[in-house]
Every structure is written in C-alpha cells, then in structure tokens.
Amino acid sequence: MSQVENPPPPPPPNSGCGAVALMVIGAMILIPSGLCTAIMGIGAIVDLNAGIDRFESDLGDVWPFALLIIGAAAAGAAMIWAGIRIQRRG
C-alpha cells in the first residue's frame, strides 16, 4: 500500500510592507535627483547662449556631478522596480 503524501502548506501571505518601503525610499531618491538633473539640463541649454567654448569648459566641471546624480536616479528607479516586482509576486 502506498501512503498519501500531504502537500506542503501554502506560503504565508505577503503583507507588502517591504515592497511599499522600497517604493517610498526609491521615490524619495528618484524625485530629487530627477529635479536636479532637470535643473542642470536647463542650465546647460541656457549656457549654450553664452558661447560654445565656455559651455565645453563648464561641461568638464559638471560631468562628475552629473554621473553621481544619474547613479542616484538609477538606484531610486531600481528600488521602485524591485518594490513593484515584490508586490506582484505576493
């Protein structure tokens, strides 16, 4: 005689607190970095009126800060994306 195996119990329901926390923290990172990127972009466009030679020298000074801002924006977007994926899974 073969024994009937009991199926494993279902996983506990996901409360979603971790997913919401990831999305909120990601938004708190993404919104300011997006605003900073927009301000720098508008400033670069306005600075083009001052002359291309000056713009190229200013761009060399701003480039490291732009990379930091883009990195922060990417981290915030990744946190929001991870929060959405966790929420869908649960």
Per the CB < 8 A criterion, the answer to whether 19 and 90 are in contact is: yes
Task: Write down the pLDDT at residue 90.
Answer: 62
Q: Please list the pLDDT of the chain residue by residue as tens digits (90 residues).
A: 567 688 888 777 777 888 999 999 999 999 998 888 788 778 777 777 777 677 667 667 777 887 888 899 999 999 999 999 988 876
Q: Which residue has the tokens 């720098």?
A: 40
Task: Write down the pLDDT at residue 25.
Answer: 95
Per the CB < 8 A criterion, the answer to whether 29 and 79 are in contact is: yes
